[in-house]
Each structure stands twice: as C-alpha cells, then as structure tokens.
Amino acid sequence: MKRQAFNPYLPSWEYVPDGEPRVFGGRVYVYGSHDAFGAPIFCVNDYVCWSAPTDDLSDWRYEGVIYKRKQDPQNRFGVRSLYAPDVVQGPDGRYYLYYAFDFLGRMGVAVCDTPAGKYEFYGHVHFTDGHVWGTRSGEPFAFDPGVLADTDGRIYLFSGFATRVPPPASRWHNLTNEGGVMLELE
C-alpha cells in the first residue's frame, strides 16, 4: 500500500532552497542550495542530497553531504557560499555537479561516479582559450546554473541573473547582468 506524500516533503529542520530535481536510475534526486536555521546569510552549509523512488515520493532518504564548500580551491577557508546547483549525467556516464560560486560570477564543476556520492572538484567553467568564465570585465554574470544533456550528446549550460552585483562582490570584474545566457559545453 502506498503512503501519501506531503508538502513539505523534507523534514522541518532541513533547508534546501533552489531545489533541482533529477531522475537517475528510478530515483528522483533533489539538489539545492543549503541554508542553516538562524544563519545571517543564505547558503552557508555544504551541499546535501535527498532522494526517493520515482514510484513512491513519500519515501525520502537523506543521502548525506555530497560536496563541501572548502573543496573548491578558491574557497579553501569556506567563507564563500555555493548557490543553486544542478547535476547532469555526462556522455561518459559520470555525474557532473555545476554550482554558482558565490557572487564572483563563476561556475564550479564537481564530478562523481554516482548521483549522490562524494563529488570531487573538477574545475571551473572556462572557454577554449583557458580563461575562466566571469574573470573578464564585460562577461555575463554566471549564476544559478541549469544544465541540459540533449539526446544528441550535446550539453548546454544555462545561467541567468538580472540584478546588479556590486563590483567588489565580483572582484571588480564589472560583469554584465542582462538576463539569460546559454553556453554549449565540451
């Protein structure tokens, strides 16, 4: 007999805003930012994951911490927040977690062999010439990624933010904020 699912579906002590559900292998996984009760700002915790069988969305399981803020080499002291992640399975079968790296205007990438395992830092989204997206003045502000793995094997990264970010927050790169951006990834 099936149980009834309720909203909110996560425990009352868990704060996972910006939830991005993904289905892999018969389970739905929820990835999102991770707030803390009473924190002075948002997204101060490490990334966690919750999952449930697709045929019983009342049976949620805590998968644990999947990525720690300090794993990004540019955040070794853990003072920067990681926002609104998204996960996609690449053509190689591995899982790629894309995240907005604070208000710096950069996207980080971590990789894992399973949807809810321990992700390892992979790099920052960069162009073919090697420069990291968001490190040059005038580039679009990278924030809150959405990733699409198309049926033809191509992968697209979407980002969007239309609020002015103070130059000190982006390390004086004067990034533009005109709305949505799409990049095809290699």
**For residues 114, 93, 81 and 181, what is the CA-based torsion angle, rounded to 10 degrees?**
-150
Binning pLDDT at 50, 70 and 90, where does residue 1 land?
A: low
Q: Are 129 and 166 in contact (CB under 8 A)?
A: no
Specify the CATH class of 20-185 in words: mainly beta
Extended strands (E) in the chain: 20-24, 27-31, 47-53, 61-67, 82-89, 95-101, 106-112, 120-124, 146-149, 155-161, 179-185
Cα 121 from Cα 111, distance rounded (Å):
7
Between 4 and 10, the more confident residue is 10
Cα 135 from Cα 170, distance rounded (Å):
8
Name residue, tokens 């999952």: 51
Q: Is pLDDT at 9 greater than 90 in this prediction?
A: no
Cα 86 from Cα 97, distance rounded (Å):
6
Extended strands (E) in 117-174: 120-124, 146-149, 155-161
pLDDT digits (tens, 9 = 90+) for 105-140: 889 999 999 999 999 999 999 999 999 988 888 888
pLDDT digits (tens, 9 = 90+) for 131-186: 998 888 888 878 889 999 998 989 999 987 666 666 666 666 677 777 788 889 98
Q: Domain residue spans in the chain? A: 20-185
pTM of the full structure: 0.89
Residue whose C-alpha is closest to residue 156's, from 126, 183, 176: 183
- Mean pLDDT (the chain, rounded): 87
